[in-house]
Amino acid sequence: MSIVRRVLLSFSFLIASISYADVTNIYQTHCSGCHGKNLSGGSGSSLIDNEWKYGGRDEDIAQVIKYGAPDMGMPAWGKILTDEDVRSLVILIREETKAASLTQMQAELAPENGVIEASGHKYSLTTLAELNGVLWGMAFLPDGSILVTERSGSLWQISDKKKRKIIDVADVWQHGQGGLLDVYLHPDYLNNGWIYMSYSHSVEPKLFGRDKGITKIIRGKIRNGQWQDQQTIFELDDKFHTSAGVHFGSRLAIIDGYLFFSIGDRGDMALAQQLDKPNGKIFRVHDDGRVPKDNPFVDQKGALPEIWSYGHRNPQGMTVARDGKTLWITEHGPRGGDEINIVEKGKNYGWPVVTHGMNYNGTPMTAHTSKPGMVDPLHYWVPSIAVSDIDFYSGEAFPLWKNRLLVSGMASEELHLLDVKGNSIEEDRIILKNRGRIRDVAVGPKGVIYLLLNNRGSKTGKLVTMNPVK
Ligand code: HEC
């Protein structure tokens, strides 16, 4: 390492990321002369055709950048670029590869007479309801109607293309990505009637626009179209409230009488590693809010006793596997590094110490994608798809998709179908593209797939079904 580099690096401990250049600049300065301005090749090979002489895994590509193939005319960059820079170049190559394949993918998934063909099935889309706001979560009631949350604070019940408002949740704090978020039916709903909701909530008066808040969980019942019997299930002390408008987490699931829910890092990533902070955690409480005695950190001084796992960035997808026991989540990565994880008691999922992503401005975060004591993701996306909710497919409408995992993507406007073998992901295909930001996906009682789609600009949302076409 050169003296200059070493000075810069030690300096960067004081002023974060000062020594790092934007990856696009690095590429244009050092690589474009041989690999072309848009990575499509020149005297060096194309880096966006997904053909790899030296291997196609992230590690292989990083290796060849670092050590080069000098005899073949590819210089070694390990003395000029840091491991972090090299990691960012790998992410850039993945981004550009995906961008290059987009036109073809869009053509393959374009509807013909309203019918889309993907992964062995044909389907059409039907809009059940349109609302004037961002739609976030949904749940199926036994009478065939569907509950949908609108982020601005309303819970809607939708049936036969009719919609009625059940409640405006009074203390919803609409702020950035916050608002009324998930809705979830107790598995024993038929007997107990409990409906759970998560939302961002503030108790402080607005002070120069800098009001503060964090995720809260309630449950209640709907009788004759009215919201009743509301109880607070989880609420945090004011000292954990922040003015940040990002990363509220908020997905809900119940397994064996335990309620699991997520809170994101609230934009303060280091706190995801601290057990005395709620940021970047999955929580577990009894379905009435009591703290279970066998939670992993109940006896640890200073730790929040509701914490089940930590080191998460912003988990906004959650579902229970076919065994009825295993909790699957998704979490948003930064630029690159969206993840799928199986959540286990007391485990550390690594954020922000390890990640497959980089900063949004193209500067690196870390060269580390894995470390001992931290759980590797089951699956990750580089580039990020802005991964949101997930559901395992069950039902007869799409038999070839049975037991596969449906994954919604927002910025990418994609629905993915993942082939799951045991606890590993064998294949990842895209089955819907460019119909709107997909915030939630759920398999309905008859095996029809329901989506919540939001438009990028207009802030309107739709409840849409994917129906099989023979
Ligand atoms: C002086 C020209 C030159 C420059 C500059 C250069 N490369 Fe290369 N690179 C090559 C050549 C030539 C090959 C093909 C080597 C071969 O075919 O064995 C190559 C191969 C590669 C490969 C492996 C491709 C494969 O099929 O496995 C990667 C990845 C790569 N370069 C990335 C980069 C990056 C990133 C930079 C900038 C930091 C860079 N290169 C700068 C000439 C260059």
Contact 296, 307 (CB under 8 A): yes
Helix 58-67 to helix 83-108 angle, to the nearest 10 degrees? 130
Contact 3, 13 (CB under 8 A): no
CA 329 – CA 344 distance, rounded (Å): 11
CA 232 – CA 138 distance, rounded (Å): 20
- Residue that is written with structure tokens 């009488």 in the block: 257
Q: Which two tokens stand for residue 253?
A: 């699931």
Catalytic, out of 175, 186, 247, 379 = 247
Strand 121-131 and strand 461-468: pairing?
antiparallel
pTM of full prediction above 0.95: no
Q: Give pLDDT, residue 7.
A: 41
Strand 146-150 and strand 135-140: pairing?
antiparallel
Give tens-digit pLDDT for 360-396. Answer: 999 999 999 999 999 999 999 999 999 999 999 999 9
Domain 116-468 is classified in which CATH homologous superfamily? Answer: TolB, C-terminal domain (2.120.10.30)
**Residue 61 Cβ < 6 Å to ligand 1:** yes
Q: Which residue, 376, 387, 249, 394, is CA-closest to 324?
A: 394
CA 62 – CA 88 distance, rounded (Å): 9
Q: Which residue's CA is the closest to the ligand 1 atom numbered 20?
A: 74
**Residue 120 Cβ < 6 Å to ligand 1:** no
For ligand 1, mutation pick of 45, 49, 61, 71 (most atoms within 8 Å of CB): 45
CA 178 – CA 68 distance, rounded (Å): 46
Q: Give pLDDT, residue 56.
A: 96
**With helix as H, strand as E and coil as C, how does 279-331 read?**
CCEEEEEECCCCCCCCCCCCCCCCCCCCEEEECCCCCCEEEECCCCCCEEEEE
CA 370 – CA 111 distance, rounded (Å): 40
Q: Which residue spans within 180-213 are E strands per DSSP?
A: 180-185, 195-201
pLDDT along the chain (470 residues), means of 10: 43 44 95 97 96 96 97 96 96 96 91 96 96 97 97 95 91 93 98 98 70 95 96 96 95 98 98 98 98 98 98 98 96 97 98 96 94 97 97 97 98 97 92 96 96 89 96
Q: Which residue, 388, 371, 427, 385, is CA-closest to 404?
A: 427
Nearest-atom index, ligand 1, CA of 30: 37
How many angstroms is it from 368 CA to the middle of ligand 1? 23
- Catalytic, 312? Answer no
Q: Where in the chain is the domain with CATH 1.10.760.10?
A: 3-100
Nearest-atom index, ligand 1, CA of 81: 38
Residue 351 one-letter amino acid: W
Q: Give pLDDT, residue 208.
A: 59
Domain 3-100 is classified in which CATH homologous superfamily? Answer: Cytochrome c-like domain (1.10.760.10)
Q: Which two tokens stand for residue 39?
A: 């990575």
CA 437 – CA 299 distance, rounded (Å): 42
Nearest-atom index, ligand 1, CA of 43: 12
Biggest distance spanned by C-alpha atoms of the chain: 77
**Residue 52 Cβ < 6 Å to ligand 1:** yes
Contact 448, 123 (CB under 8 A): no
Residue 204 makes CB contacts below 8 A (sequence gap 6+) with 211, 212, 213, 238, 241
Q: Which residue's CA is the closest to the ligand 1 atom numbered 8?
A: 74
Q: Which residue's CA is the closest to the ligand 1 atom numbered 36?
A: 31
Strand 154-159 and strand 162-168: pairing?
antiparallel
Exposure letters 125-146 (e unless 16+ CB within 10 A, then b): beebbebebbbbbbbbbeeebb
Contacts for 159-164 with beta carbons within 8 Å, 24 or more apart? Answer: 161/128, 161/129, 163/129, 163/131, 164/225
Q: Where in the chain is the domain with CATH 2.120.10.30?
A: 116-468
- Residue that is written with structure tokens 């007997």 in the block: 191
DSSP structural state of residue 213:
B
Residue 32 three-state SS: helix
**Residue 452 Cβ < 6 Å to ligand 1:** no
Strand 195-201 and strand 214-223: pairing?
antiparallel
Number of residues assigned to the chain: 470
CA 395 – CA 380 distance, rounded (Å): 27
CA 145 – CA 158 distance, rounded (Å): 6
Q: Which two tokens stand for residue 76?
A: 């070694």
Contact 181, 248 (CB under 8 A): yes
How many angstroms is it from 45 CA to the middle of ligand 1? 6
**Residue 35 Cβ < 6 Å to ligand 1:** yes
